[in-house]
A and B are shown apart, each in its own frame.
Chain A
Amino acid sequence: MVKRKTVAPLTPAVLHILLALSIKERHGYGIMKQVGSDSQGKVKMGPGTLYGSIRRMIDTGLIRQSDKSIDPEMDDERRVYYRITGLGQKALAAELQRYREVVAVARQKQISPGTFAYGL
């Protein structure tokens, strides 16, 4: 059953997976590498979290599974690829818009990353 819950904020894992898939389809290991690179190593997920998120995202229609194919940059094993759907693109855009709005509010209040550096 596909549930449509695009309005709800995304979890960090789902956001990063959508970001990783926004440019091209990837297999599980490829997603992990891209998430690591996008987050500069701050977001670490193992196969348990990654595939748990992938399962939820497929069930909610944010991504879908492509056919198995060989990654030319790796060995000759056939891998399952995942790609973002139209719904996933909309959810990602909505989430990024939320982030922009939060940053705008923070700017308005003149809060920068260093504001609370010394504590209150």
Chain B
Amino acid sequence: MAYERPIRRLRRGYAGLLRLYPKRYRERFGEPMEQTFNDLLRERVEKGTGIFGFALWMFVETFTGAMRENVRIIVQNKTLVRIALATAFILFLPLVAMQFTDEVAWDPADFVAAGILLFGAGLTYEFIAKKAGSFAYRAAVGVAVAAALLLVWMNLAVGIIGNAGNPANLMYVGVLTVGSIGAVVARFKPRGMARALVATALAQALVAVIATVNGSGSTIVVTGFFVALWLVSAWLFQKSAAETPRRV
């Protein structure tokens, strides 16, 4: 049958997509959802109508559903409130400092940007760290998210290469993209995450090499610091992978 192989792939892809759902939800509805997806695909094949556009819609629809369930769990667990409170507390520090010194001069846009960054980092940590019970995995996520937050923050505040306005700093977007794509490809599994973090460290080092060769400025110390953070995170993911038995 001409559709057999692509259907197998779609089914595997859909089963993988269901991993984005919270664990408890997946245990309740993962199997029926997979069955329903398979039934719908079978119906399309029997009717002789196209399956790829349809499958794409189902993937998008299910992805949206998974995000909705994750947000619901976060809100229900009061985690959102905790992250918001922590964000407010951190933002409160520069606000207080501004009353006593001119060294700290944040405008409203700075507070908004910092708020979005901190809140986003907290949410990202919760979303990914929730996937595993091991301390090593959660620590690895924590280090990676903190490194990403610092990288963005430093770039927005002063710029790592030259000053904040130096376009060479845009290369760091590539560093974060490598990490993000790697995490998605690895489906947040520890072994794959370790590789993604090593790739991120290499990308970070590559930016420093390019900046030095171009004469944009030397960033050895800062780069060394970030490479170390990415590698520590990779090591923790590897440690978590060693604790998790491989699936046969």
Interface residues of chain A, those whose CB is within 8 Å of chain B, are 27-29, 32, 45-52, 54-55, 74, 77, 79-80
Given A29-B39, A32-B36, A52-B69, A46:B62 Cβ within 8 A: yes
Q: Which residues of A contact B29 (CB under 8 A)?
A: 51, 54-55
Q: Which residues of B contact A46 (CB under 8 A)?
A: 57-58, 61-62, 65
- Of the candidates B32, B39, B58, the one whose C-beta lies within 8 Å of that of A80 is B32
- Complex Cα spacing A29 to B33, Å: 9
Within the complex, the shortest CB–CB distance from A14 to chain B, in Å, comes to 15
Inter-chain contact B31/A80, CB cutoff 8 Å: yes
- Of the candidates A29, A47, A74, the one whose C-beta lies within 8 Å of that of B65 is A47
Interface residues of B in 54-72 (CB under 8 A from A): 57-58, 61-66, 68-69
Interface residues of chain B, those whose CB is within 8 Å of chain A, are 25, 28-29, 31-33, 35-37, 39-40, 57-58, 61-66, 68-69
Q: Which residues of B contact A54 (CB under 8 A)?
A: 29
Q: Look across to chain A and name the residue whose beta carbon is closest to the beta carbon of B62.
A: A48
Inter-chain contact B39/A48, CB cutoff 8 Å: no
Chain A residues touching B, majority SS: helix
Q: Which residues of A contact B64 (CB under 8 A)?
A: 48
- Complex Cα spacing A103 to B171, Å: 61
- Complex Cα spacing A54 to B36, Å: 13
Q: Which residues of B contact A28 (CB under 8 A)?
A: 32-33, 35-36, 39
The 7 A-B pairs of least Cβ separation, nearest first, read: A48-B65, A46-B61, A29-B39, A28-B36, A48-B62, A48-B61, A51-B29
Inter-chain contact B69/A77, CB cutoff 8 Å: no
Inter-chain contact A51/B32, CB cutoff 8 Å: yes
Q: Look across to chain A and name the residue whose beta carbon is closest to the beta carbon of B30.
A: A51
- Complex Cα spacing A92 to B33, Å: 25
New contact pairs (18) apart from A28-B36, A29-B36, CB-CB < 8 Å: A27-B32, A27-B35, A28-B33, A28-B35, A29-B35, A32-B36, A32-B40, A45-B61, A46-B61, A47-B33, A47-B62, A48-B68, A51-B32, A51-B33, A52-B69, A54-B29, A55-B25, A80-B31
Q: Look across to chain A and name the residue whose beta carbon is closest to the beta carbon of B25.
A: A55
What are 5 A-B pairs at a CB distance below 8 A? A28-B32, A46-B62, A47-B61, A48-B66, A52-B68
Within the complex, the shortest CB–CB distance from A47 to chain B, in Å, comes to 5
Given A28-B35, A29-B35, A74-B39, A47:B28 Cβ within 8 A: no
Q: Look across to chain A and name the residue whose beta carbon is closest to the beta carbon of B39.
A: A29
- Complex Cα spacing A49 to B33, Å: 11
Within the complex, the shortest CB–CB distance from B39 to chain A, in Å, comes to 4
